[in-house]
């Protein structure tokens, strides 16, 4: 084994624990998930990461395409396939206005839903304001809302107490992370009845007959009830492949025992490979322009802190 390509960090952990001698000799790890990356940074902080690792989760193409653009479509797809809900006029709360939340909000607003946002981060909250969304606390709107979508990466964002106050026929689902965002465990109590009405769709029924529609038992809607377009898979796979090649070919010393972001030039390369699909034509810098901007004509074109 020369390299590890991981999604979640389980393989990395297993090799690290079971085969420490193999682990020490690999050329590098490429990790694509939030969780796996988190575990790598922890290993690094603890001084136990004895090989270079590439965090491809935070490359631009991954973040924007896998999260923003992909979720903009899969939220609609996931809701339609499971519930046939009409979006027009529906009151929706999106919890979290990161890339995933931004995608969900944009799509639902465009289709005529009335969307509000909850946020903990004032910068993202101000972005939500500028994009035309009311920033509210969930408790303020819980009784009126038709659909709640969680996109926070956090836990217990929707609590039993809030689920108790949702109205009959409302929908609750998770686009964020794992199955922690909705406190689903709190719904597994004797006084509530669960009725499976379709694959991935449960009606949770309160003693007074009220039904709340829970999708995918609180797991990720986009993975459970929608599909990932091949275009997005291609972006991700290309990024992973380039990261593996880079780690393998890198001259001694370029990467130490630490976690790295994919070099921007490779991020740009992944993007450029996918432009032809759209018949997009890049403009090339003239020598004079490249000199004026202080850039290499072939990139990278932006400083590392650029936000896109």
274: contact with a copy of itself by CB under 8 A: yes
255: contact with a copy of itself by CB under 8 A: no
50/58 with CB nearer a copy of itself: 58
Q: Which of residues 63-82 bind a copy of itself (CB under 8 A)?
A: 63-65, 69-70, 72-73, 76-77, 80-81
Provide the greatest CA pair distance for the chain.
74
Separation between Cα atoms, residue 184 and residue 194, nearest integer Å: 12
What are the structure tokens assigned to 271, written together?
């993007």
192: contact with a copy of itself by CB under 8 A: no
The SS3 assignment for 9 reads: coil
305: contact with a copy of itself by CB under 8 A: yes
What is the closest distance, in whole angstroms, from the C-beta atom of residue 216 to a copy of itself in the complex?
17
Pick from 47, 191, 282, 287 the residue near a copy of itself by CB under 8 A. 282
Q: Which of residues 196-215 bind a copy of itself (CB under 8 A)?
A: none
Whether the CB-CB separation of 58 and 37 falls below 8 Å is answered with: yes
Pick from 209, 249, 251, 308 the residue near a copy of itself by CB under 8 A. 308
Q: Which of residues 81-140 bind a copy of itself (CB under 8 A)?
A: 81, 84-89, 91, 99, 106-107, 109-115, 118-138, 140
Pick from 1, 20, 144, 198 the residue near a copy of itself by CB under 8 A. 144
Residue 226, Cβ neighbours under 10 Å: how many?
A: 23
Separation between Cα atoms, residue 259 and residue 251, nearest integer Å: 17
Alpha helices, H only, the chain: 10-18, 20-25, 34-45, 60-61, 70-83, 99-110, 122-130, 138-141, 160-165, 221-224, 230-249, 264-275, 287-293
Separation between Cα atoms, residue 50 and residue 20, nearest integer Å: 10
The SS3 assignment for 149 reads: strand
The residue range among 9-17, 21-29, 196-204, 265-273 that interacts with a copy of itself, by the rule CB under 8 A, is: 265-273
The residue range among 12-20, 190-198, 250-258, 287-295 that interacts with a copy of itself, by the rule CB under 8 A, is: 287-295
Count of residues of this chain found to bind a copy of itself when the rule CB under 8 A is applied: 94
């Amino acid at each position: 084994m020369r390299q590890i390509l991981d999604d979640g960090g389980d393989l990395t952990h297993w090799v690290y624990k079971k085969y420490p001698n193999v682990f020490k000799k690999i050329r590098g790890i490429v990790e694509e998930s939030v969780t796996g990356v988190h575990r790598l940074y922890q290993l690094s902080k603890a001084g136990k990461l004895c090989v270079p690792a590439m965090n491809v989760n935070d490359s631009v193409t991954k973040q924007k395409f896998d999260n923003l653009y992909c979720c903009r479509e899969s939220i609609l797809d996931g809701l339609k396939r499971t519930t046939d809900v009409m979006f027009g006029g529906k009151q929706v709360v999106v919890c979290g206005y990161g890339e995933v939340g931004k995608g969900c909000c944009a799509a639902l607003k465009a289709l005529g839903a009335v969307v509000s946002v909850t946020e903990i981060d004032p910068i993202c909250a101000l972005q939500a304001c500028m994009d035309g969304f009311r920033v509210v606390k969930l408790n303020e709107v819980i009784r009126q809302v038709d659909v709640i979508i969680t996109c926070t990466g956090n836990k217990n964002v929707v609590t039993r107490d809030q689920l108790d106050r949702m109205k009959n026929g409302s929908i609750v689902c998770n686009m964020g992370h794992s199955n922690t965002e909705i406190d689903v465990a709190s719904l597994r109590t004797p006084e509530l009845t669960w009725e499976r009405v379709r694959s991935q769709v449960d009606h949770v029924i309160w003693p007074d007959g009220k039904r709340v529609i829970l999708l995918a038992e609180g797991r990720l809607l986009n993975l459970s009830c929608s599909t990932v377009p091949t275009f997005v898979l291609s972006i991700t796979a290309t990024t992973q492949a380039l990261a593996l090649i880079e780690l393998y070919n890198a001259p001694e010393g370029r990467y130490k025992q630490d976690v790295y972001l994919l070099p921007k030039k490779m991020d740009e390369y992944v993007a450029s490979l996918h432009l032809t699909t759209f018949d997009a034509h890049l403009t090339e810098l003239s020598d004079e322009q490249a000199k004026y901007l202080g850039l290499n004509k072939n990139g990278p074109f932006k400083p590392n802190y650029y936000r896109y």
